[in-house]
Structure 1
Amino acid sequence: MIGLLCLDLGTSSVKAALIDLGGRTLAVGSAAYATTSLPGGGEEQEPEDWLRAARTAIGQATTAGIEVAALCLTGQMQDLVLEGGHGALRPAVLYTDQRAAPDSQQLRTALAAEGTDWDAATGNRQDPSSCAAMFRRLARTEPEATARAHGLTFGPAGHLAARLGAGLWCDLTTASTTGLLDATTRDWHPGVARAAGLDPALLPRLTRGHGQMVGRTDARARDLLGLEVGVPIVLAPGDAGAAALGVTGTAPGKDHASLGTSGWIASIRPRGTGPDPAPFNPASHRLALGEDELLISAVLAGGAAAAWARDAYLGGMDAQAADALLAERERNRGRGPTGLLVLPSLGGERFPVRDDALRGAVLGLHAGTGPAELYAGTLEGVALALSHALDPARAGEELTVVGGGAASAPWRRILADVTGRTVRSLFAPGADATLLGTAIAGAEALGLGHAIAPLAERKGELTAPDPAAVQAFAALRPAHRALYDAAARIGELAARA
């Protein structure tokens, strides 16, 4: 029997899974690593910690009698790694690092002077987390390090591939997050590199397709990861792309929602398809995924907002007890809006607006408002925030939902009523969409016949919308969207006071 050894090197840990060509997970492993927080908003990790954690996770996921057909890699995106001759020259700068704010603005100004709109050229709104801005900051503050760099990688998956002898590579999905990729040509943008003070020769090669074999493990593999020499290395899309493949597969056209700690709407769409509301919202992320495009609209607090509301309103009640409270309320009052409009923004927001200063809001309180209404209103607020990324004209389509929040039947009903879509719940403990998508990418890159099915092909549990509730929420959606702008203005006035 053969299996694909899949690694997801995430923000705080690496997860490993050995997945056979039928889609069965044969063994799993995981190991954590630390993040170092620095003054001024700095966030860094040691690439050597990535390798140590990967070796631990692989050791846990190794199963006797299973031939490893390939090592398939994905992970966090938009990190900056300066590669030397024998590893990273300094700690990796993470996508959460905010120290490059002045460099980001200077880069934008320099590009504008040349007639280039940075956001338009890259297809995404750029900010201090852009790898181009990060490099410009390092070139200014640590010129000796950037001068010694042999090349760059943009996340732990690319770094690990390089350490195993594959050379310098970046998948297109990750490249879309760096602020350095030309959205039209899907090659590195020479003007942005020049404005960042970055020699284009340092940039890694770009993969094509949903995944690409970029090399084979060399003699270092045994010491670094405990793997044999000659194992094919497949660089899958970065974690957001791999997760999308794992939920809905490689074919475009299906939206899915995630109700994890954060929340998002994601959809794989043919590149350059016609209009709908989300592509025109610059708060959405547009990422290359194979020949298609992955559109992601991410709300910072999804499950985190629900957990906060249980603590704040329900005295720390657990999720199951809170669900029972909402079910009782629904039996007494029926489905439909609470009458509250809630912005679930606990500390800044990413969609439907990008505003690091935005704070949450609750509108519509009255004397009869109780804890259950406040909790239900928070769940409505998350669902309404996500709904701003969906095309109302496609309300008849199913919406697949994953993540821990998908276990909540009342929240699924709220999401169905807010979006007008039948919700297919894929809350499946032990099923990891990112690792599954990495396996799909690996099997297809190697041309292996396989039956690895995405989660959306599982039966799941269907939750139909209530027609009256759908109409009521549709009437509230414009007011909910307008509340973001009103809250931002109030916040500005308060800051001046």
Structure 2
Amino acid sequence: MGDKLLILDVGSTALKAVLYDRTGSAVASATRLLTTQTRSDGSVEQDSRQWWAATQAAVSELPFRADVCAIGLAGSMQNLIALSSTGEPIGPAILYSDRRLDQHEVAALRDRLPGDYGQRTGNHLDPAHSILKLMRLERFLPGLPLDAVTGFLFGAKDAVIKRLTGRSVIDPTTAATTGLYNIGSGAWDETLLAAAGVGSAQMPQILAADAVVAPLADEAAAALGLPRGIPVHNGAGDGAAATWGAFADAPNTAYAYIGTTGWVAGTMDLADTCPPRDSYTLADPVKGSRALVITPFLCAGAALDWLSEITSLPVEMLLEHAKADGDGPHPLFLPYLFGERSPFEDRAVRGAFLGLDRGHGPGALCRAVLEGIAFAVRHNLEAAGLPRQPLTVIGGGARSPLQQRFLAEALNRPVIAPAASQEMPALGIYRMLAPRLGFEPVLQLTGSVTVEPNPARAEAADRRYRGYLAASDFARELPPTMP
């Protein structure tokens, strides 16, 4: 009997294969980049066949393949993969970020949905919800015979599971992002399926993250060099996997992700969420009585990238300037460079620097951006009703010590930055499956840095945060600058 757990994390930009031993230690990993096709009509697609090719390539690099005793998966959510009668994908995978439906089309489709859509799904209708893509399937699969479509998948990991086992499945968290899942009953909503023009037989089976989907098929085992018949566990969507990896899976816990974009997320008892909320309310992938609350904001590290572009200074140099400036004065920054999604949805609002002075240089502007990102995290935590202490922060943008300091002061709470935050989704899947497999539990993050707030700077940050909220309200009242 093997003693290694293989976790496949199918992200939107890369696929990562990670091997864990029975103690919860990651002993090996391999990564393969993925390609996305983005076009001017708003379409964002991937060839789902590359997910399987990347799986084969990444797993082939791993040692100890003969010792693998089980497989678990994580992956991007809110995708749409159409299947033929043979179970093969038809056309490209439509990603969550696809925006070819404009606001007028979304409004027209909303009118065709039941008035209690929010109560059924736990969420307000979002342009990323898969139900809208199904309602206009001819827009997303042009030139393909729609009568040849016999089924659908909605998660990248689910397409890989289909290759591993031959079965069509989905976890509750990914199901809750489709706009077709009834968060109260924990099942597909027949009324919403009818509105989308699909039948329950076309939908994947909803299974908990720790459930065994099926034994690994012989053909897949041979392709991957893995033992035949080992159990393939369902796993969960990336949002749930990262939440568990950040140890925010218990009620009244939370974490923040800072990458190009950002989000804050945490766990609440489902009875306390009172959906629909302005944030996403998603089913926990293992515990049906709990819900994940996620508020995504559109601009985090992208603001630093923008500042780098307009100043012609690398981000690393901007951070050095900011560090050298010490506690000098800096303007206030609103990070709405792309509009905003949470804690309010406003595609037209735009960002700003306020309180600019001719004495402000690159360091002051950089510190303003870091502070604006920290204020966005606090704003989203408060809007979602999530706790601030202690807050784990993950993602590439959270690695900067200066960003960690601004977060601690904006929240007036300790900030915990794990050393290997890029492996949080894989760790989350390990934590979900460990009890089922008899592996040792991982009880805390290791190799983390904890940053305590400076009381005086935290008090000053609180005053500036009040100004940030007022400026945010004012920015939303300005005439839109986008077409």
Q: Normalization by structure 1: what TM-score?
A: 0.88
User: Using the alignment, how far apart are the partners of 2:145 and 2:281 within structure 1?
Assistant: 32
* Alignment gaps of 5+ in structure 2: none
CA deviation map 1:18-69 (0-9, x unaligned):
11121121221111232223452112211211111111011112425x5111
SS of residue matched to 2:218: coil
Task: Report the CA distance between 1:10 and its aligned residue.
Answer: 0.9
Q: Aligned runs of 1:444-459 on 2, under 5 Å?
A: 444=435, 447-453=436-442, 456-458=444-446
SS of residue matched to 1:164: helix
- Amino acid of the structure 2 residue aligned with 1:261: T
Mark the CA change 1:239 to 1:222 in structure 2 (over 3 Å): closer, same or farther.
Answer: same
CA deviation map 1:381-427 (0-9, x unaligned):
00001101224998772111122233322221111111111112213
1:464 correspondence with 2:452: yes
User: Using the alignment, how far apart are the partners of 1:138 and 1:340 within structure 2?
Assistant: 47
Match of 2:321 among 321, 325, 339: 325
User: Using the alignment, how far apart are the partners of 1:398 and 1:418 within structure 2?
Assistant: 13
Q: Retained in 1: the 8 A contact 2:408–2:414?
A: yes
Mark the CA change 1:373 to 1:267 in structure 2 (over 3 Å): closer, same or farther.
Answer: same
Task: Report the CA distance between 1:311 and its aligned residue.
Answer: 4.1
Task: Report the CA distance between 1:251 and its aligned residue.
Answer: 3.0
Partner of 1:414: 406
Task: Report the CA distance between 1:306 and its aligned residue.
Answer: 2.2
Mark the CA change 1:16 to 1:480 in structure 2 (over 3 Å): closer, same or farther.
Answer: same
Partner of 1:104: 106
Task: Report the CA distance between 1:207 and its aligned residue.
Answer: 1.3
Partner of 1:235: 234
* Alignment gaps of 5+ in structure 1: none
Partner of 1:79: 79
Moved more, 254-263 or 132-141: 132-141
Q: Retained in 2: the 8 A contact 1:286–1:294?
A: yes
Mark the CA change 1:410 to 1:86 in structure 2 (over 3 Å): closer, same or farther.
Answer: closer
Partner of 1:316: 313
SS of residue matched to 2:465: helix
Q: Retained in 2: the 8 A contact 1:266–1:296?
A: yes
Partner of 2:299: 301
Task: Report the CA distance between 1:103 and its aligned residue.
Answer: 5.2
User: Using the alignment, how far apart are the partners of 1:376 and 1:211 within structure 2?
Assistant: 43
- Amino acid of the structure 2 residue aligned with 1:390: L
Mark the CA change 1:123 to 1:280 in structure 2 (over 3 Å): closer, same or farther.
Answer: closer
Mark the CA change 1:151 to 1:281 in structure 2 (over 3 Å): closer, same or farther.
Answer: closer
Partner of 1:271: 270
Task: Report the CA distance between 1:81 and its aligned residue.
Answer: 0.9
CA deviation map 1:309-359 (0-9, x unaligned):
24434x41442x4444333322x64xxxx4522112222322222233332
1:57 correspondence with 2:58: yes
Partner of 2:126: 127
Moved more, 388-397 or 216-225: 388-397
Task: Report the CA distance between 1:268 and its aligned residue.
Answer: 1.8
Q: Aligned runs of 1:438-449 on 2, under 5 Å?
A: 438-444=429-435, 447-449=436-438
User: Using the alignment, how far apart are the partners of 1:397 and 1:128 within structure 2?
Assistant: 32
User: Using the alignment, how far apart are the partners of 1:146 and 1:171 within structure 2?
Assistant: 26
Percentage identity across aligned positions? Answer: 31
Partner of 1:385: 376
User: Using the alignment, how far apart are the partners of 1:178 and 1:302 within structure 2?
Assistant: 25
Task: Report the CA distance between 1:238 and its aligned residue.
Answer: 0.2
Task: Report the CA distance between 1:179 and its aligned residue.
Answer: 1.0
Task: Report the CA distance between 1:297 and its aligned residue.
Answer: 1.7
Mark the CA change 1:312 to 1:439 in structure 2 (over 3 Å): closer, same or farther.
Answer: same
- Amino acid of the structure 2 residue aligned with 1:246: G
Mark the CA change 1:131 to 1:224 in structure 2 (over 3 Å): closer, same or farther.
Answer: farther
Q: Retained in 1: the 8 A contact 2:263–2:294?
A: yes
Q: Normalization by structure 2: what TM-score?
A: 0.90
User: Using the alignment, how far apart are the partners of 2:453 and 2:219 within structure 1?
Assistant: 55
Match of 1:358 among 349, 352, 357: 349
1:404 correspondence with 2:392: no
Partner of 1:153: 153
Q: Retained in 2: the 8 A contact 1:406–1:427?
A: no
- Amino acid of the structure 2 residue aligned with 1:298: P
User: Using the alignment, how far apart are the partners of 1:127 and 1:253 within structure 2?
Assistant: 25
Task: Report the CA distance between 1:106 and its aligned residue.
Answer: 3.2
CA deviation map 1:416-449 (0-9, x unaligned):
11111111221337x61111112222333xx222
User: Using the alignment, how far apart are the partners of 1:202 and 1:386 within structure 2?
Assistant: 39
Mark the CA change 1:38 to 1:403 in structure 2 (over 3 Å): closer, same or farther.
Answer: closer
Mark the CA change 1:280 to 1:420 in structure 2 (over 3 Å): closer, same or farther.
Answer: farther
User: Using the alignment, how far apart are the partners of 1:16 and 1:491 within structure 2?
Assistant: 47
Partner of 2:172: 172
Task: Report the CA distance between 1:118 and its aligned residue.
Answer: 2.5
Mark the CA change 1:280 to 1:217 in structure 2 (over 3 Å): closer, same or farther.
Answer: closer
Alignment RMSD, CA only? Answer: 2.6
Match of 1:287 among 264, 276, 282: 282
1:426 correspondence with 2:426: no
User: Using the alignment, how far apart are the partners of 1:377 and 1:222 within structure 2?
Assistant: 52
Q: Retained in 1: the 8 A contact 2:52–2:163?
A: no
Q: Retained in 2: the 8 A contact 1:27–1:60?
A: no
Q: Retained in 1: the 8 A contact 2:308–2:315?
A: yes
Q: Retained in 2: the 8 A contact 1:305–1:378?
A: yes
User: Using the alignment, how far apart are the partners of 2:162 and 2:482 within structure 1?
Assistant: 47
Partner of 1:479: 467
Q: Retained in 1: the 8 A contact 2:419–2:447?
A: no
SS of residue matched to 1:34: coil
Task: Report the CA distance between 1:137 and its aligned residue.
Answer: 1.2
User: Using the alignment, how far apart are the partners of 2:348 and 2:225 within structure 1?
Assistant: 46
Q: Retained in 2: the 8 A contact 1:119–1:126?
A: yes
User: Using the alignment, how far apart are the partners of 1:143 and 1:442 within structure 2?
Assistant: 42
- Return structure 1 stretches of 4+ with deviation > 6 angstroms: 392-396
Task: Report the CA distance between 1:105 and its aligned residue.
Answer: 2.8
Mark the CA change 1:124 to 1:62 in structure 2 (over 3 Å): closer, same or farther.
Answer: farther
Partner of 1:207: 207
Task: Report the CA distance between 1:478 and its aligned residue.
Answer: 3.8
